[in-house]
Structures are given as C-alpha cells and as structure tokens.
Structure 1
Amino acid sequence: MKKLFRILIVLSIALSFISCGKEERYGEEFEIKYIGRRSDGDDDIWYQAEIYPSKYVGTVKEHDKYYRDSGTVNVKKGILGEKLGFVGDTYGIVKINESAEEFYGKKLKELFGENVLQVYDIRFNRVLEDYSFGNIIKVWKEEGVRLTIKGGIYIFGRVENDEDREQYRKQIYEFIQFMKETGTFEYVDLDIEVIDIRRLYDSFNNSDKIKKMLINNRKSWENNEISAKDSDNKRKEILNTLNVLTKNEVTNNINEINRSTINESPFKWSYYTVLLYSKIYSPKYILNNHLDEEKKKEYNKITDIEFDMGGYY
C-alpha cells in the first residue's frame, strides 16, 4: 500500500508539470528523484522530490544541486486515510539563476574574457511564464516584487603586479556600472574573486604535494611568520611548477565545476589561490539588512572597489 501511495506521489508531481503547464512554461523535460516524506511536527505533511532537467542526465550538472530544486505534494488526512493535496515546485529559482548568468555573462566576458564562473542565489518571490532576466526586471519594476542578487563571480586569471591589480579594479568597477545602468544594483550582495588560473590545471588538482605546500604557505602568512609579499612570491614559485593547459582545457575545467559546493571547502576552492577579493554591497541592501553603514558605498568612483586580501594574495 505504501509503495502504491509513493507511486501516486511520483505521478502527481510528474502530471503537475504537464497539467499546470509548467513543463511548457519552463521549456524543459524533468527527472524526478529522491522522494521523501516531510512533516512540521503538527498536522502538515508533504512529500518532496528533487527535480532537474532531463537534458543534464549524463553531465556534471546531473549531480550538481545548483541545478536541482524540489517538487512538493501536500498530504491531507481524512476519515478514509491520506489523500493528495496541493502540488507545486520551486524550479523557478533555478531558472532565475540561469537567466542571470546569461544576462550578465555577455558583459563579464567582454570585461574579463571566457574564464569567468557565475554562481547566483537570487531571491525573487514570483512565479513567471517568462523567466528571461529582462522580464524579471520588468515585473520587479512594475509590481514591486523585490529582486535581491546574491552569489559569487569567480574570475580566473593572473595578478603579477600593481598594473594587473588596478586593471581588475577598473573592470570590476565597470561591471558595477553595468548593473546600475540595467537597474539591477538596488539589492546586491556579491563576492567577486580573482583566482589564479592555475587553480584549474589538472597538475594542480592531481597533486597533493602542491596543495599541501600552498596550505603551509597560507598558514605561515596567517601566523605572521612571513609577510604578505613573501607569501605571494612563494605562491608564485609553487604554481610556476605546474604544466600549462590549453585554452580549451581551461574552459572545460570551468564547466566541470560543481557550483553547489563551491563555498563549502576553502581547501577545494579559492582560499589558497585567491589573488583579489572584493565584497560588493549595494547601499539599499546594507540599509534593508541592517548592516554596518560604514560599509555603504555608492560606487561612483573607482576607488570604491576595495580588495580585502593582503598584497596580491
């Protein structure tokens, strides 16, 4: 009996995508997995399943939770037992994040080239028929549904001197001006990192020795045993031993990155290979989230772009 009810749950979620027009709205075919029973401790009971586009089956995105969200079926208790209730999904969140990647991607590639990774966590509490970012902006302005842009932009490159650093400052500033021009810089909380491109090399990822050397170098700096400059020179010396990849190999390695785990482990990510880091808060975001107002900047001048890492490290 429980197995039959579980099958009904799967069918209910699947049919909801068709009967409610959601498959047509998203323009996707979906896989449904990992169904579980949930309860808030009171009388509310529901079944929840992970959903993701069928086009990602067999790719790295199939196992990346950044591209997954949930389908939900509420369960109502009655005299004759349980029966299915409201059916819904939250896949629109994934669509909004992907739409933002497309919208900002053109400008980011114009400024920084191809080696850019965008990972968003955008908040926009609205179900739409059209998930293009232009339409999201339009609905936001017309209906007042707040659009909050959170997440990270990861730029893979090199910073060898002051000129390189100032060039990145200028480019990041230009990107913020683009956000202003498109009316999307009202509620923003972004991390922008410039990461040593050699972090993507197979010879880095496959070498425990290289990683350990970088960890020890970083700890020496944090413990004030060496200066930021010496630490940066040591990092360069370590990474200069790596084999260079072709442009296509670098692009492929960026595409293989699991976005959902990008911030879970500093060892896996930029903590030991970050060159420049800038935290970007829009003034309205600071005010609405009661953050330190000393951090508030209008970004009307290039010096408003600040880097929090010592030296080029």
Structure 2
Amino acid sequence: MGNKKKNSWLTGLIIALIIISLPPAFMYIKSLSDGTDVGKVRRKIKEHLYKEYGKEFVVDRIGIRSSRGQEFYQARIYPKSIIGTNKERDEYYYSTASVSKKSFDRLGGVGDGYSIVQMNIGSEEYLLPKTKEIFGKRVLLKTDVKYKKRESEDFFGWRLESNFEKMLNKTKNNPKDNRIELNLQVYIFNRIDDKKEKEKRRQQIFDFVQYLKDEGLFEYLELGVIFIDERVLAPSYDKFRSKIYRSDEVVVEVEGEEIYMPPMKLRREMSKVLQEELDKMSEKELLVSMRKINKEDLTYDGIREYNGQYQCWIYSIGILEEKYSSSITKKDRERTYDKISDVELIKYKKYIYIN
C-alpha cells in the first residue's frame, strides 16, 4: 500500500514538472469529453491541494493535455482567498494542477505547480520589510525563486518546494549541497530628479546588495532595480497609456541612437496632466494606486518601456556561470559589488516624460 501511494505521488510530480518545463510546441490541450466526470477530476485535485497547502482552491478550466503521447487531465488553480482582491486579476497568483489519466477512466496521482507561486510569495514577504527600509514604501517586488539540491558532484537538481525560509536556512547551513537561485526585481515608484538623488539611490542599491549577501542570497542572484516615474500612479494614466499605444510613433535621436517614441505633443500633455493630478494625491492614495498594479505588468512591455527612468542590473558570477556562461566578460568577473563603484544606474532611452 505504501509503495502504491509513493508511486502515485511520483507520477503526479513528474507530470507537474513536464507541464512547467515542456515547450508548448510539444503539447496540445482539448476539452474534457472522454466520458470522465469533470467533478471527479476537480474533487481529486481539490483534496490534494487542501492536504498540501491547507487552504481551499478554485479548480477550473479542466481539460486533457498530451505530452509525448501521454495524456493527463489539467486544470487551472488559484486560492479562493484571492477572490475579490487585486490578485484575482493577476496571473502571477495562478498555477496548474494535473492528474495522470489511466485506463477505464481511472485517475492517477496529482501534481501541481502552486509550490512555485508559494515560494515566490514567501520570498517577497521575507524580503519586503528590508526593501522598504532601504528604498522607502513605494516599492513592489517580483521574484522568481528556484531551490536546488546537489544530486551529484557537478549537478544541482531543481526541487519543487514551497517554504522559502526553510529552504533559505538549508542553504545557509549547508551551502555546499543547497542553493537558492533568486531572480529579484525591485520596482521603485519615485523618479530621480538630480545627481545628488541619483548618488543617494546608488548607495541604497549598494546597501541592499550587502543585505542580500548577509542573507546568503547573492551567490546566485539576478537583481534588477527599476525606477518608475510615479506619474503612472495618477488617475488618468490608463487613459494616456491607451493614447500612447494608439499613436503614430516618430523617430527621435537619443544619445546618438534613433528610437521610436510617441509624438512630442502627446508626451508633453501626458507629463503635465499626470503631474497636476499627482500633486493633489496624498501618500496614502499613491500607495493604494501602486498596489493595484498587477505583477504580470511588471515587465518591460508592461510598465518599463516608457515609464522606466533608471535601471540597475546586478548579476553574481554564480548566476552568470549558470545561465549566461557564453557572455561573461572580464569586467563581470572583476565586479564583486564590494564597492559602490560597481553599481551603475543607467537611464532608459525611451523614458517618455518631459519634466
């Protein structure tokens, strides 16, 4: 009996890993029309999720998926607790679960990818207090965390774990056999007005990196610190955003490079109107507006392209060797971030606002 349970769990885990890692070209999905009771699949997934995470989940969009000739049931999952909140509209908090499909309409083991979501949420909760202490309250974090365990002399395998602090402690206590790969993006909704403030922000980034080092999170770190113009928090921003993406772009020369930008008249109008609205908002209103921004919008295409003012990207040599080994330079190897001169703040060329 024990072996059957173990095999069922392993089957579910393998399916979950296939779903996460397999390119879409190798998979297809179809509606559940093979005679299996949809409710039966939903109940099995719900029971698994409650046992695994101790909370109720919504299980919907159930279908049959195929990978390399093997079919399994797959569903979208998300916690009931996010219904009615901003998170309900944010794919960052959603995941999938799968059930292996056996003959005679029997169901096999369940696997799910929600541990990835849980791990990312846990890392954000852990890092956010210190992030706010260093950069101020107008910050949003976006994380992608992978915990890996040594499986041989030269190979670390990715483990689907959900408890960030527990895995961090394992890494601290035994870094030889455990590692955390952290992709962390810090979005700061406060533009930099002058050189003095720019130097202050560089110092803050340096201090933040030292904190990550102390926490054992620097060895495999990919860090982006992005300064977003706070005018995105003004009430009319969405209206102007729509105008921008419908406008005919014009060629503008920035630092000797020709780039496409919205017309200057629209940029001036947007900058002026949004600043006037911003001046009438309290800090509390700004924070409320900021927290409405979805995690899935914290991307270059989502919010950075025109609203990003400055950016700083920091890569440890460990993550460079792991993910970008073919592009490592001599400067990369020399840069240890033990001195503030290693921290570079670069201005976005497509920054749209006219101050």
1:1-313 equivalences under 5 Å are 2=34, 4-18=36-50, 21-24=51-54, 28-42=55-69, 44-77=70-103, 81-124=104-147, 125-128=158-161, 131=163, 133-142=164-173, 144-207=177-240, 211=244, 219-222=251-254, 224=256, 239-242=271-274, 243-244=277-278, 245-263=281-299, 265=301, 268-289=302-323, 290=325, 291-293=327-329, 294-296=331-333, 297-309=335-347
Q: 1:204: how far off?
A: 2.4
- In structure 2, relative to structure 1, the CA distance for the partners of 1:311 and 1:14 (3 Å cut) is closer
Deviation of the 1:172 alpha carbon? 0.7
Q: Given residue 313 of structure 2, which amino acid in structure 1 is its aligned partner?
A: K
User: Does the CA-based 8 Å contact 2:219-2:318 persist in structure 1?
Assistant: yes
**Do the aligned partners of residues 39 and 213 (structure 1) sit closer, same or farther apart at CA in structure 2, a change above 3 Å counting?**
closer
More displaced, 134-143 or 62-71? 134-143
- 1-side partners of 2:240 and 2:267: how far apart? 15
CA distance in 1, matches of 2:75, 2:238: 33
Shift of 1:23: 3.1
Q: What is the Cα-based RMSD across aligned positions, in Å?
A: 3.1
Deviation digits for residues 47-84 of structure 1 (CA, Å, limit 9, x no counterpart)? 1111111111112211211111111101123xxx3421
- Structure with greater strand share of residues: 2
Change (3 A) 1:65 1:208: closer
CA shift, 1:263, in A, is: 1.8
- Structure 1 residues 236 and 287: CA distance shift in structure 2, 3 A: farther
Partner Cα distance (1:87, 1:49) in 2: 11
**Please, which runs of 5 or more residues in structure 2 have no aligned partner?**
1-32, 148-157, 260-265
2:19 corresponds in structure 1 to: none
- Which whole-Å deviations, capped at 9, do the CAs of 1:245-294 have from their partners, x for residues lacking one? 221221112211111233262xx412212121111101111122214233
> Which letter does structure 1 place at the counterpart of 2:209?
I
1:207 counterpart SS class: helix
Rounded to whole Å, the distance in 1 between the matches of 2:221 and 2:141 is 14
**Residue 214 of structure 1 contacts residue 238 of structure 1 at CA under 8 Å; is this kept in 2?**
no
| Paired amino acid for 1:8 | K
Note if contact 2:306-2:350 (Cα within 8 Å) is conserved in structure 1: no
Q: Which residue identity does 2:297 align to in structure 1?
A: T
AA in 1 matched with 2:107: L
CA contact (8 A) 2:311 2:348 kept: no
CA distance, structure 2, for counterparts of residue 295 and residue 204 of structure 1: 38
Cα gap change, 1:34 to 1:109, in 2 (>3 Å): same
C-alpha change, 1:161 and 1:264, in structure 2 (3 Å) is closer
Deviation at 1:36, TM superposition (A): 2.0
Question: What TM-score do the two structures reach when normalised by structure 1?
Answer: 0.83
What percent of counterpart residues are identical? 28
C-alpha distance after superposition, 1:109-164 (max 9, x if no partner): 11111110101111124355x72x33121123456343111142110112111001
Number of residue pairs the alignment of both structures matches: 295
User: CA 1:93–1:191 in 2, change beyond 3 Å: closer, same or farther?
Assistant: same
Shift of 1:17: 2.5
* Residue 237 (structure 1) shift: 8.4
Distance 2:241 2:49 in 1: 46
Change in 2 beyond 3 A, CA 1:60/1:215: farther
